[in-house]
Structure 1
């Protein structure tokens, strides 16, 4: 705990996270949901803080020794000057606000004057503060969170919310399903695969497998049987199917997990990359078994 300048109750209270190359600072010491931060208006050792992905956290260079606040310019020498076009009236060229009061003799000519004043130079005042370094982690960084991370109850109790990204985490099955479904739809190659079921409760991707032409007959007659010989050169095989919860015979998706948020993101991307490699890779029918359960990937 560090104290600067004062022990008054009205001093600025800050929490700090130290890393190897930067410092994160916040005045939301109670983690309030509707907190309005004041630190963006301050100077830390002469520098403005840098915003982060968290509204109530900013980045600074080092643990501050001096915090200052810029006071706005103030009006001085306020007066009312007679407009140039009315100099010939004989009215005073300069009046003050009291001259236009009900008791003043110039109330009736107020419109002939305009307010004039000077501004003082902006001034910096020192802000008394108290800061608490809640953790020192050389690798920590505040990053944008793209997911609704789930953490253990113990971590939620013992870890500051801004640091939960460093703890083991998981996604719900529904969010994991949504991620996979969205990614496949955006990256599938229609030359080699097609989405054959696309619902909130189930998802299927199939491939068209090319093979030697197979003859089959179709009755095209309306009243009397009339057969026509046709040929098929492709057939459909499921390559991926899943669901967010129990539905029919669909396999339920496994939720994504990670040692921390960064590891979780890497695991998600690794799974998606490997899945799309399978989905978008052309398949050909095995020349030995003619499609009875064995396929080769075309190289």
Structure 2
């Protein structure tokens, strides 16, 4: 039987990354069943990471053991009713002596019992392959952005994580996953659209702005601006049932008006009349996350900052205080 090969990335941050998956893609990668989960490295179990099929251990292993599930021992049959014990019906029958009692009688009168030996460790022979040693190592930043998109015929929330960050084909081929954070990366326009849409929904101040279009393909936010003077106007309900109701004059007073402050579509849908939001690209994952965080912060500061009608030009202009929330 071929020995398991475990690849190791050693870092100067007091940790190692290990994997026993050789496949880069396809069926054998998607359905790989790692033996690492059942191994113990210098007395400790490996911990899973968000890198697919990669695990983390504290240091380069000196001793590797496998957890062996406890075997069954003392297999036997015990009399269900102890009061029936006799010379022909002993209280306990060892499993190997089960033929001493007729099969039907044994099934009717006895319970099968056994003891479990506790799990134990056994030395595990495998090949450790040091892929590389990394200096100045730091963990990749955590991407954890609530997002929303259409699944089937309804919207469903999901999370944009590190797995949504894309790297170039050459980095996928030559750079082990735990080290890719240092390479150029991006998040697509659709994923940016999904996370921005959910972020606005979660953080908008309804007193200052409201969402007027909220779809998987287009999104609009309008500012609510108080009027200097309430405006009363009249109207007729042309959709009323009767001629008399349609002729009736109604009055309404507006104390605010709305102006569009933000709108977007995504490059995939490119919905007519809306501006496609760009994906984000950066030299590494730390800068990529900083770009996303800065965009969300600036966007919400703009949306949630009050706007007032300018009193000096009779409402022809607006005053916005970006420092107010």
The alpha-carbon deviation at position 265 of structure 1 amounts to: 2.4
The alpha-carbon deviation at position 296 of structure 1 amounts to: 3.5
Partner of 1:37: 34
Find the aligned partners of 1:220 and 1:71 in 2 and give their Cα distance. 82
Partner of 1:15: 7
Residue 241 in 1 paired to residue 263 in 2? yes
Partner of 1:189: 205
Greater Cα shift, 180-189 or 109-118: 109-118
Match of 1:276 among 295, 300, 315: 300
In the TM superposition, 1:102-141 aligns within 5 A as: 109-111=105-107, 120=117, 122-137=119-134, 138-141=137-140
Greater Cα shift, 287-296 or 114-123: 114-123
Partner of 1:5: none
Match of 2:228 among 212, 220, 236: 212
Any unmatched runs of 5+ in structure 2?
144-160, 238-242
Find the aligned partners of 1:60 and 1:158 in 2 and give their Cα distance. 22
Partner of 1:160: 176
Any unmatched runs of 5+ in structure 1?
1-8
Partner of 1:267: 291
The alpha-carbon deviation at position 24 of structure 1 amounts to: 2.0
Partner of 1:70: 67
The alpha-carbon deviation at position 132 of structure 1 amounts to: 2.2
Find the aligned partners of 2:70 and 2:254 in 1 and give their Cα distance. 83
Q: Contact (CA 8 Å) 1:12, 1:127: kept in 2 or not?
A: no
Q: Contact (CA 8 Å) 2:3, 2:126: kept in 1 or not?
A: yes
Cα deviation code 1:27-60 (max 9, x no counterpart) = 1132411101111111111222223334622221
The alpha-carbon deviation at position 218 of structure 1 amounts to: 3.9
Q: Contact (CA 8 Å) 1:49, 1:60: kept in 2 or not?
A: yes
The alpha-carbon deviation at position 282 of structure 1 amounts to: 1.0
For the residue of structure 2 that corresponds to 1:194, the secondary structure is strand
Find the aligned partners of 1:155 and 1:183 in 2 and give their Cα distance. 31
Find the aligned partners of 1:203 and 1:57 in 2 and give their Cα distance. 38
Partner of 1:48: 45
The structure with the largest alpha-carbon Rg is 1
For the residue of structure 2 that corresponds to 1:243, the secondary structure is strand
Find the aligned partners of 1:79 and 1:95 in 2 and give their Cα distance. 6
How has the CA–CA distance of structure 1 residues 257 and 109 changed in structure 2, closer, same or farther, with 3 Å as cutoff?
same
Match of 2:83 among 82, 85, 97: 85
The alpha-carbon deviation at position 187 of structure 1 amounts to: 1.1
Match of 1:24 among 17, 26, 37: 17
TM-score (ref. length: structure 2):
0.73
Q: Contact (CA 8 Å) 2:65, 2:121: kept in 1 or not?
A: yes
The alpha-carbon deviation at position 131 of structure 1 amounts to: 1.8
CA RMSD, 1 decimal: 3.5
Larger strand share, 1 or 2: 2
